Chains A and B, each alone.
Chain A
């Protein structure tokens, strides 16, 4: 297998967001995800990377190829040291509507992946972990 099973990249500039997308695209391709699944994962990564950069004032993306019951997947962790999320319920409000795009990052990204975990404290940053299985 050509890629190492894990890696890290910064999310401290707009170019980093583009790089993050490219990294996730490459990884999902290597894992043999279908085109739709690749696109979903790359899009989710773009949303969360942007959140970390704009709301989170900069952060890091840690990626890992994971295995569970002989099934392989891609796990992405977006961590920032920003202000944290004061109202988690509001932030995760699920609304499948023709929205205006505001605050859609989290609830939208959640629908694009298999596993979604979020941990955030006001004043102590936010960590979002998503996984997509093949």
Chain B
């Protein structure tokens, strides 16, 4: 069965979604990621959707779920690289993904993860952006 690869990016995990996913593949990703977070004891996950030309409510929900699951397992998640047309469409669709942190690209995403983790460690409030 095909799966979306999960890579190690420094101390974090990176998932690059490039294919037009069918629902089962998305659920498999969620499962694989949960295990990978635990196995690597990682504190941060980056989901790169910069080549994704469409995000619908299923994928949106999957990302929100991954974020929630990750948090329970001790990892922060950042969604990076959403394309403008996709952002405009998601907003019109009514999906704001409030619990999901976002960043413009992988580099910014990693900086954000660093800040969140450092912030959490020094017990400051965590913020988005």
- A interface, CB within 8 angstroms of B: 14-15, 17-18, 21-22, 25, 35-36, 38-40, 42-43, 46-47, 50, 95-101, 104-105, 107-109, 111-112
Contact = CB atoms under 8 A, between A and B. Distances in A.
Contact of B89 (A18, A43, A101): A43
B60 A98 contact: no
B95 A43 contact: no
Interface string B21-36: 1111000000000000
Nearest to A40: B89
12 contacts: A14-B24, A36-B85, A36-B89, A39-B53, A39-B86, A40-B88, A43-B55, A43-B56, A97-B94, A104-B57, A107-B94, A111-B93
Interface string B4-24: 000000000000000011111
Given A101-B60, A108-B57, A40 B92 contact: yes
A17 B98 CA distance: 27
B20 A22 contact: yes
Contacts of B88: 36, 39-40
A40 B89 CA distance: 6
A111 B55 CA distance: 15
Interface of B: 20-24, 53-58, 60-61, 64, 84-86, 88-89, 92-98
Interface majority SS (helix, strand, loop, mixed), chain A? helix
Contact of B61 (A46, A95, A100): A100
Contacts of A99: 94-95
A47 B23 contact: no
A46 B23 CA distance: 11
Contacts of A47: 56-57, 93
B17 to A, nearest CB: 14
